[in-house]
Amino acid sequence: MVSIAPTNWPRSELTKEDREPRKFVTEHGVDLRKLPNIVDMSSESITRNVVAINSSGSDDRMKFLFKSLITHLHAFVRETSLTTEEWMTAIQFLTETGKKCTDIRQEFILLSDTLGVSTLVDTINNAKPPGATEATVLGPFYTEDAHEVKNGDSIASEGKGEYMFVEGTVVDMLGNPIPGAIIDTWETDGFGQYDTQYDVRDEPECRGRLRSAEDGSYAFRAVLPVSYPIPDDGPVGRMIKKLGRHPYRPAHLHIRIEAPGFDTLVTALYFKGDPYLTSDAVFGVRSSLILDPELVTDTSVTLSRGFKEAKPHTYVHQDFILAKPEESEDARRVLRAVTKGSVGVNGGHF
């Protein structure tokens, strides 16, 4: 194995023979003899040439991913006859998006969310069988430190928003109750903020963890979550605005349910009547997850459910149907087969 130093060609002191193309292994361990000849790029040949040279590695999955990525990226440039100025705008946008990321702000995930990529990845990876409660995106506001609350207790302090009472049952695909399921729930307060978005956060607020009872039932007091804008003071916010879109998510209550022997469910409940339901900035809404909440004006019921003040409250009933891992895996297998067959883009090439 002869190493190539960057300065070893062509040197005038070398003989003519030395200056012929040589067969080398670089100090990176790349055998130049095994690389495809990628000279002379045209707009026609460059894609197969880039794919070819990216196929030199040993990671088959990575090669497959890059083949698809390069093919689509190049097709995008060709189909749009992307101008040099547009290319530079994209470079600057991506750079700024990276610069905007901090420990508590992930602008690239926001970009993925607002382009529908996060929901698509979620749909493919967390598909549930027909009949099971549908999943939707986890979002950036889940935390591990939620307080344990008893069935029927509150996840929100007094004064954090309008009263909401949530109850239902956790069951399997046959309708059998699932006792002891761990239910995590989190939501905005009545001001449209998660607890983690405040400068000061003494302890978890508007979030809690409870367990389903022997009969699978659960209940908790909460506040009515409200619609809110995603962080729109960065490059993604500017993009959204230029596209004629608004940055709002409809109000929703996050739910995550974990039970032994079942596929963990990450989902959220939405509310009929929210003006942003049909134009969610991150494409998370599913029809099956939209509730029609009941406005309970009998304040004696409010008090009997444990709320402090005799005010009207919103009542929500939702059962959760959990699938077993093998049932979900079947659903994902079918989905993968269907989506691969239905893309209509370069179908035969991959």
The string of DSSP letters for 104-131 reads TB-HHHHHHHHTTHHHHHHHHHS---TT
| CB nearer a second copy, residue 16 or residue 174 | 16
Min dist. Cβ of residue 1 to a second copy (A): 14
Min dist. Cβ of residue 229 to a second copy (A): 6
Task: Count the neighbouring beta carbons within 10 Å of the beta carbon of residue 245.
Answer: 12
User: Residue 124 contacts by C-beta under 8 Å, 6 or more apart in sequence?
Assistant: 332, 335, 336, 339
Min dist. Cβ of residue 323 to a second copy (A): 17
User: What span, in angstroms and rounded, lies between the C-alpha atoms of 281 and 338?
Assistant: 26
Min dist. Cβ of residue 79 to a second copy (A): 5
Min dist. Cβ of residue 198 to a second copy (A): 16
| CB nearer a second copy, residue 174 or residue 344 | 344
| CB nearer a second copy, residue 94 or residue 175 | 94
Min dist. Cβ of residue 192 to a second copy (A): 4
**Biggest alpha carbon distance in the chain?**
101
| CB nearer a second copy, residue 20 or residue 144 | 20
User: What span, in angstroms and rounded, lies between the C-alpha atoms of 118 and 287?
Assistant: 18
3-state secondary structure 288-333: HHEECCEEECCHHHHHHCCCCCCCCEEEEECCEEECCHHHHHHHHH
| CB nearer a second copy, residue 210 or residue 226 | 226
Tokens of 204: 């978890």
| CB nearer a second copy, residue 148 or residue 309 | 309
HSE of 307, CA atoms in CB hemisphere, 13 A:
25
Pairing of strands 252-258, 265-271: antiparallel
